[in-house]
Amino acid sequence: MEREIPDMKIYTYPDAVLKTTAEPIKNIDEDLQKIIDQMFKTMYLAPGIGLAANQVGILRRVIVFDGSPGEEEPFPHVLINPEIVAGEGSIKWDEACLSVPDYTADVVRKSRVQVKGLDRHGNPLDLEAEDLLAVCLQHEIDHLDGILFVDRISSLKRALYKKKLKKKNKGDH
Ligand code: NI
């Protein structure tokens, strides 16, 4: 019987699911294909350039991202059990996240990374990325380890963000 995966909800900070390490994927089955398709749909609708399973409440190691962020044509990519195997250089990027609404901050990351993982059919995939794509991959893989970009900014900036969030939740602008 077909199992429908309902529309995905994007969880936002400080939800615990975003702080939790996702589990490696052992079975690449029909269910996972549906999750991946829904994640693409959710990411492009948002719109975003990357989405990790934690963000939609699924604690499995899978990310989707656009392989040519900023270009008009969508270039959907998926990585299962992604790992950063090498990195070099440094880049500062004003990052945003679908799970951290209405906030951006400069984060320093590697400017070039080599990532390995599996494609949606379970074939090994090696990827080299630089600049925005490298930033995106590091950001999404962080999600799978329960790390948000706000965990990578100064504690002062983070405190200011939390204050802003508190105010917003009170409906006080
Ligand atoms: Ni994010």
Residue 3, domain member (yes or no): no
In the reported structure, the alpha carbon of residue 55 is separated from the centroid of ligand 1 by a whole-number distance in angstroms of 8
Domain of 52: which CATH number? 3.90.45.10
Give the total number of structural domains in the chain: 1
Q: Is residue 1 part of a domain?
A: no
Residues annotated as catalytic (active site), given as ranges = 140
Q: Is the pLDDT of residue 53 over 90?
A: yes
Residue 103 lies in a domain: yes
* 4 occurs within a structural domain: no
Res 70 pLDDT > 80:
no
Residue 10 Cα to ligand 1 midpoint, Å, equals 10
pLDDT at 1: 44
Does the pLDDT of residue 4 top 80, yes or no? no
In a domain, 33, yes or no: yes
Does this model's pTM top 0.75? yes
Domain of residue 135 covers: 16-172
- DSSP E strand stretches across 30-151: 50-52, 62-66, 76-88, 91-97, 100-109, 112-118, 124-130
Q: If you measure from the C-alpha of residue 1 to the centroid of ligand 1, how many angstroms do you get, rounded to a whole number?
A: 33
Alpha carbon of 140 to ligand 1 centroid (Å): 6
Residue 111: both structure tokens together? 């400017």
